[in-house]
Amino acid sequence: MKQTIATLAALAAAGAVSAAPKTQPNVILIMTDQHRFDYLGAVDPNIHTPNLDALAADGVRFTNGYSSAPSSTPARAGLLTGQSPWHHGLIGYVPYIAPEYPNQLPQLMTDAGYYSYGIGKMHWHPQRSLRGFAATELDESGRVEDDGFVSDYRQWFARVAPGLSPDSSHMGWNGHSAKAYPLADTLHPTWWTGERAVRLIENYDQDRPLFLKVSFARPHSPYDPPRRFLDLYEDKTLAAPAAGDWDSTYSTRFTHDPLKNPDAPFGDFGSEYAQRSRKYYAANVSFIDEQIGRIMAALKEKGMYDNSVILFVSDHGDMLGDHYHWRKTYAYEGSSHVPFIVRYPKGMKAKVKRGTTRPEPVEIRDILPTFLDAAGADVPDGVDGRSVLDIVRNPKKAGWRDMIDIEHYSCYGPNSGYVALTDGKYKYIWFYNKGEEQLFDLASDPYENRDLHDDAAQAPRLEVFRKRMAEHLRERGEEWVSPSGELQIVRNVPVHTPNFPKAE
């Protein structure tokens, strides 16, 4: 029988139980930043990710993993709270998430008897807040949002490479230009994050299970991999950006000279530029994959691997020029569709075989309840996600959701705010600022080249999606959905919803 978090914590504090039941597995969360779903060898053989492919072969790869608010801070708020964007209160990018939420993943895992530790990019505020971790070692991609903050990576870099700069690539944090890393591989933040995780595992001697979050700041720009990973792609031609029947206006939104707009969210910069960006991005992915291999080897050497739940995910994707879109925040597959791999412990009773794929729509909000399920702890009220271990144990009895929502407020223009729904087979997008919609058949058109919203044959399906969208938005009031169920045009929607935690 599961014990509640509060009861377990109280008993442990009183000495009535050990810090954690011996049956609790270790829980390892490995994250990348801005890593789209198809940059895995298991999806595209041109992408070199042998270690992630091995993890998928020893677990389950969910082919419809999504990020419901596909930019950094709202996605990470969903990870932290297990809630949908509307409920955690952040539906677009701002520099930081709320200082505190009622339920936060590291604290819940600590309360459940775990030693909780975070390495890499947290993107929190205050930047040194622990939120239940025993400690963190931070790489925050150069962000300084608190007075005097210097990340652990930059402090380490200053000690081991005096006189050199951790920003030696000289590229912006949101650009899509590309350049090889000019320093030694072992000075790159990707190597540092992997190294710190390996050292933590090697030296782990707690008498309680480990909850470890390892969060890489790449393949997010700058696209600056070491040269040896670029060599993996020298003789390859990667898939060109998708282009369809609806996207031509985006090709001329900005100048065609990317040197003048290196972080432009839209534009046709030519096939050579796109291919270069994609190869350097892929090489960033392969560098991370090498570090993941080191982490897996350390877990095995320590005897921790067999009794570990390991989950790999990204906070959102990267358009990489699809439909002349760059960067993220969009509902489209390159931006919102992310890798989602779950490796379950050796002794767990499962009806889903290792090495298989599952089609259920899963999302970042599902990570918190998945980990609490693994810990044998109850999921608190207010969590929207569900444990994907229910699917692993018995997909026929899981009663899983048939759709997942995606949204982002206007970011790269005044009328770009949207809410979308997808079941992994079709996707419906409602642009609430201007009352426009799109419909895509993902099964036959996985890169969304054909917009079907005005196809007469799709009218019945479109009407079903409109009704489902109205049901989804109804809690937001008549401003969003009329009493008769009609979707409403809504302008000037703020980035924070009424549910965003108020400052004390």
Residue length of the chain: 504
Residue 218: phi and psi, rounded to 5, are -110, 165
pLDDT of 308 higher than 90? yes
The Cα–Cα gap between 338 and 71 comes to 12
Q: Is residue 411 part of a domain?
A: no
Residue 16 has pLDDT above 80, yes or no: no
Distance CA 435, CA 414 (A): 13
296 — pLDDT class (breaks 50, 70, 90): very high
Tell which wins on pLDDT, 244 or 19. 244
Q: Decide if pLDDT at 5 tops 90.
A: no
Q: Does residue 425 form part of some domain?
A: no
Is residue 8 predicted with pLDDT exceeding 50? no
Whether 254 maps to a domain, the answer reads yes
pLDDT digits (tens, 9 = 90+) for 91-114: 999 988 899 999 999 999 999 999
> pLDDT class for 22, splitting at 50, 70, 90?
low
Of 431 and 11, the structure prediction assigns the larger pLDDT to 431
Q: Could you report the per-residue pLDDT of 163-190, keeping only the tens digit for each?
A: 999 999 888 899 999 999 999 999 999 9
3-state secondary structure of 73: helix
Tell which residue, 491, 480, 488, has the closest CA to residue 86: 480
Q: Which two tokens stand for residue 174?
A: 């949101």
- When pLDDT is cut at 50, 70 and 90, the band that residue 13 belongs to is very low
Asked if residue 72 is part of any domain, the answer here is yes
Which pLDDT belongs to residue 23?
A: 84
- Classify residue 45: in a domain, yes or no: yes
pLDDT of residue 414: 74
- What are 44's strand-pairing partners? none
Tell me what the mean pLDDT of segment 475-496 comes to: 97
- Would you say 145 and 125 are in contact if contact means Cβ atoms under 8 Å apart? yes
The answer, yes or no, to whether residue 480 has pLDDT greater than 90, is yes
CB contact set of 284 (below 8 Å; sequence gap of 6+) = 190, 218, 219, 223, 224, 225, 229
β-bridge partners, 342: 60, 311
Structural domain count, the chain: 1
pLDDT beyond 70 at 446: yes
Which residues, 6+ apart, have CB-to-CB distance to 160 below 8 Å? 187
Q: Let me know if residue 101 belongs to a domain.
A: yes
- Cα separation, 361 vs 338, in Å, equals 11
The 8-class DSSP code of residue 321 comes to: T
pLDDT at 504: 63
Please report, rounded to a whole number, the percentage of residues in the chain having pLDDT higher than 90. 88
Tell me: pLDDT of 276 over 60. Answer: yes
pLDDT digits (tens, 9 = 90+) for 51-86: 999 999 999 999 999 999 999 999 999 999 999 999
CATH number at residue 240: 3.40.720.10
Query: Residue 324 pLDDT more than 90?
Result: yes
d(CA 68, CA 78): 8
User: What mean pLDDT comes out for the span 468-482?
Assistant: 98
Round the average pLDDT of the chain to a whole number and report it: 94
Q: What is the residue whose two structure tokens read 């005096």?
A: 162
pLDDT average, residue stretch 349-376: 98
* Distance from C-alpha of 92 to C-alpha of 55, rounded to nearest angstrom: 32
Strand order in the sheet with 356-358: 135-138, 115-120, 210-219, 26-33, 308-314, 340-343, 60-62, 356-358
- Vertex 224, ends 218 and 230: CA angle to 5°? 105
Predicted confidence (pLDDT) at residue 4 exceeds the cutoff of 70? no
Tell me: pLDDT of 418 over 90: yes
Residue 204 lies in a domain: yes
Range of the structural domain that residue 243 is part of? 24-402
Residue at 485 is within a domain: no
What's the whole-model pTM score?
A: 0.94
Would you state the pLDDT for residue 232? 98
Burial of 437 (0-12, 13-18, 19+ CB in 10 A): buried
Is residue 344's pLDDT more than 90? yes
